[in-house]
């Protein structure tokens, strides 16, 4: 059976909070309000989001993907279970989703670096997770101790769950954000790089816990001092939340990139008939931008050069050989007020340049 085969018992759902879309129900739960379905949604969101990045950034060629529907009118290419190497990657992503169910995963990142074992990355796609006790808003992220601008993850902690239909629109907006980021904002990748997935755990994670397919290492990743970053999107099912971000040396200006992303999201939300919660973006501009796609999430070929067959083969081989790393588990953060935020293991990577 494929690693992400949907097998939901929706008969127990008696509420009006559901998405009535046959294609959606094949991959995602029709309702994402309770803890189990919320975590199931997150597992499949991880699979779809990183599949889209791997394809649209040209990291893996189209032979590793197959067509999948998100809704009746929206489709994308996802890792193909019939391809052994793509299946191995999908299995690792599923294992990461199981760590979300346990409340152990803080961050899952696709890291691009010059060499496989490099600590410094030149491009990173990171999903940062937040857990909502009993599905409620986490008020302990309401202020910043130093009065600085809140991060998107801190802002996410104050976002209410607004129903499965809203989560569907958030996911569609996030995936279209990936397309816009890779096609319109980032310059093409050069040949000769390494890629792997790296994870960071919450502080509540048992010391002996390890996600299947990931091995321990002495570092997470670091970013160059002047690297640029921007938010791609977010999702907020009933008991979880995640922010998807990109940091890259191939991004010319973070402020302009995020303004452009926000305008593009606004166009998408208009097309979806969805009133977007835009508080997760740093910038507050609302100028017009290119039109949003209204039907397909993914079509055609990636903006990156798919002729890099040697690079693609090496990347697939590195994934297949478990070339993934996790953060060390020896360091725990301490806070003056234990109730102020969820405790997390520290990671040594540097912050990206702040945007005024």
**Extents of the domains making up the chain:** 22-141+149-272
In this prediction the pTM is 0.79
Which position has the token pair 């921007």?
A: 230
The class (CATH top level) of 22-141+149-272 is: alpha beta
Task: Tell me the pLDDT of the chain (356 aa) as tens digits.
Answer: 456 665 555 544 546 789 999 999 999 999 999 999 999 999 999 999 999 999 999 999 999 999 999 999 999 999 999 999 999 999 999 999 999 999 999 999 999 999 988 999 999 999 999 999 877 655 444 344 455 678 888 888 888 899 999 999 999 999 999 999 999 999 999 999 999 999 999 999 999 999 988 877 667 899 999 899 999 999 999 999 999 999 999 999 888 888 888 888 788 777 766 655 544 654 433 333 334 344 456 655 565 444 343 444 455 555 444 444 433 333 333 222 222 222 223 233 333 333 33
Q: Give the other-Cβ count within 10 Å of 332's Cβ.
A: 10
CA distance 180 to 174: 10
Which position has the token pair 């070929």?
A: 301
List, as own/partner pairs, every contact residues 75-81 make where C-beta atoms lie below 8 angstroms and the sequence separation is at least 24, other chains included.
75/296, 75/297, 75/298, 76/48, 76/51, 76/52, 76/175, 76/297, 76/298, 77/51, 77/52, 77/298, 78/47, 78/48, 78/51, 78/52, 79/47, 79/51, 79/54, 81/2, 81/3, 81/4
User: What number of H helices and E strands is found in the chain?
Assistant: 7, 9
Residue 326 three-state SS: strand
Say which residues have a Cβ less than 8 Å from residue 20's Cβ, sequence separation at least 6: 30
Task: Output the DSSP codes for 217-234.
Answer: -S---B--TT-EEEEEEE
CA distances to 135, 146, 219 from 202, rounded to whole Å, are 18, 23, 15
């Amino acid at each position: 059976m494929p690693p992400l085969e949907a097998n939901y018992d929706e008969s127990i759902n008696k509420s009006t909070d559901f998405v009535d879309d046959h294609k959606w129900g094949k991959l995602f739960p029709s309702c994402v309000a309770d803890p189990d379905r919320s975590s199931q949604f997150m597992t499949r969101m991880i699979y779809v989001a990183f599949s889209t990045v791997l394809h649209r950034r040209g990291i893996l060629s189209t032979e590793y993907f197959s067509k999948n529907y998100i809704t009746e009118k929206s489709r994308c290419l996802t890792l193909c279970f019939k391809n052994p190497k793509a299946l191995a990657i999908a299995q690792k992503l599923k294992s990461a989703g199981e760590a979300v169910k346990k409340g152990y995963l803080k961050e899952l990142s696709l890291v691009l670096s010059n060499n496989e074992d490099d600590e410094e990355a030149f491009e990173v796609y990171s999903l940062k997770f937040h857990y909502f006790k009993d599905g409620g808003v986490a008020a302990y992220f309401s202020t910043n101790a130093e009065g600085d601008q809140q991060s998107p993850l801190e802002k996410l902690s104050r976002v209410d769950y607004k129903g499965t239909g809203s989560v569907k629109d958030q996911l569609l907006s996030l995936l279209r954000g990936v397309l816009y980021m890779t096609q319109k904002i980032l310059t093409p990748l050069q040949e000769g790089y390494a890629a792997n997935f790296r994870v960071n755990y919450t502080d509540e994670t048992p010391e002996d816990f390890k996600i299947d397919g990931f091995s321990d290492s002495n570092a997470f990743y670091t970013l160059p001092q002047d690297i640029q970053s921007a938010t791609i999107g977010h999702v907020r099912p009933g008991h979880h939340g995640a922010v998807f971000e990109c940091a890259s040396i191939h991004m010319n200006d973070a402020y302009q990139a995020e303004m452009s992303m926000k305008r593009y999201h606004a166009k998408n939300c208009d097309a979806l008939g969805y009133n977007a919660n835009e508080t997760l973006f740093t910038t507050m501009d609302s100028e017009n931008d290119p039109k949003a796609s209204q039907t397909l999430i993914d079509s055609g070929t990636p903006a990156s050069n798919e002729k890099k067959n040697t690079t693609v083969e090496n990347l697939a081989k590195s994934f297949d050989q478990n070339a993934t790393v996790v953060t060390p588990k020896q360091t725990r953060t301490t806070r003056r007020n234990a109730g102020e935020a969820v405790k997390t293991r520290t990671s040594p990577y540097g912050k990206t340049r702040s945007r005024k």
